[in-house]
Structure 1
Amino acid sequence: MSQLITAYEQILQTAISEDALGPYDPFEEPEGPADRIFVNELRCLGVNCSYSCVKAMPDAFRFDEETQRARCTSRRFNDDEDLEYTLWQTVGQCPERCIHYVTKAQLDILQLELQKAIDGMSPIDQVEYSLYELLAKAAYENGRERVPKRQPRKSSKWVDFY
């Protein structure tokens, strides 16, 4: 009987998440720049981390009282380039690679998924896999918006490769 209830809850949660996405999937077509921060608390080492983002950027991160894992409190520092650079360094130096740049719509969906695991509504390994997939898709799609670092050289000369 409990397996039947669990299966029904999973089907219901899948239907709810598909309804929340609707025809627009922010992971397929990002609506803008990835300027928001998402911390995957399932991978975060929390207070045991050797390079703590909370120590490096106390203005942007804090430890959650319930989970003792890092959580982002401030989403952006557009007015101060030094703080923005320090935040970028902090994201890149996370030993577990659990801090990610995402768009606002992506952030909302990722936080809903994470909250399911924290509240015990879904199995942690299932949510962790789902977050992994969504973050991989977000990293790929969000990176496509960037301007190339260098423009290709153009030449009007004909080149013979033989």
Structure 2
Amino acid sequence: MGKGREDGPLSTSSAYAVLGVQPDCSPVEIKAAFRAKVKQFHPDVNRDENSDAMIRRVIQAYQILSSYTPSQIIETECLDPFDRPECEAFDVFVNELLCVGKACSSSCVERAPHAFRFDSSTGTARAFSQGQEEDYQVQCAVGQCPRSCIHYVTPSQRILLEELLHSILDVPYDTSAEADLLFSLITKAKFENNRYQKPKKKTKSSTQHVDWF
């Protein structure tokens, strides 16, 4: 599901370090630090290849220090690119709750092996390469998925959907509420992404005097 999981779970002391706050700081300071870090590593602002991993660590750190679940973070912390997409939806996200993995008759892994692969722990397909918006094989994989479980999303939407999906797959007990939220966010993303319009470029007004006569 991307980089960042390979480093293992954060400790409480590491969580404070990720957010850049002291252990004796207040909840208000933790929230402010979290929002500042989200802005710093936002995919639309930070084009560094490690920005994905960093924003995941920021979310994990805030989960630890606030005791919020990923769904609560999305709902309470104004982390909602689903209302206002930050850019065009060119990243791909696989809803692994619907994916049947190698049993699929029209596997995305076979159609576009450079963009999808089967996860060893779940057996489901997962996108591991982004920035393939012009790739015909990826377009076919998305459009011809028999379970309709591959979606074009924005970078911010993808990160939050992946975090929410990961929390569902990792927890052995009932996660129906989180699953419902995942499906609703995907639906919302599809609707808003279809409405997205690129910001119009401002025309430069000339300050030079023009004598028309």
TM interval, short-chain normalised = 0.7 to 0.9
Give the equivalent residue in structure 1 for 2:80.
25
CA distance in 1, matches of 2:153, 2:173: 23
Choose the corresponding residue for 2:129, options 74, 81, 102: 74
CA distance in 1, matches of 2:102, 2:154: 27
Matched, 1:144 2:185: no
1:99-114 correspondence runs (5 A): 99-114=150-165
Q: TM-score, normalised by structure 1?
A: 0.73
Structure of greater relative contact order (alpha carbons < 8 Å, 6+ residues apart): 1
CA distance in 2, matches of 1:133, 1:65: 27
Give the equivalent residue in structure 2 for 1:133.
184
Contact 1:54 1:70 in 2 (8 A): yes
Choose the corresponding residue for 2:138, options 87, 91, 97: 87
Give the equivalent residue in structure 2 for 1:64.
119
CA distance in 1, matches of 2:83, 2:185: 10
Matched, 1:50 2:105: yes
Distance 1:18 1:87, change over 3 A: same
Count of aligned positions? 131
Distance 1:128 1:18, change over 3 A: closer
State the AA in 1 paired with 2:186. Answer: L
Contact 1:30 1:141 in 2 (8 A): yes
Q: How far does residue 24 in structure 1 lie from its aligned partner after superposition?
A: 4.9
Contact 1:116 1:122 in 2 (8 A): no
CA distance in 1, matches of 2:96, 2:117: 12
1:74-94 deviations in whole A, cap 9, x for unaligned? 11236xx4xx12211110100
Contact 2:94 2:126 in 1 (8 A): yes
1:7-63 deviations in whole A, cap 9, x for unaligned? xxxx942544435xx335200000001010000011001011111110111101000
Q: TM-score, normalised by structure 2?
A: 0.56
Choose the corresponding residue for 2:170, options 98, 119, 138: 119
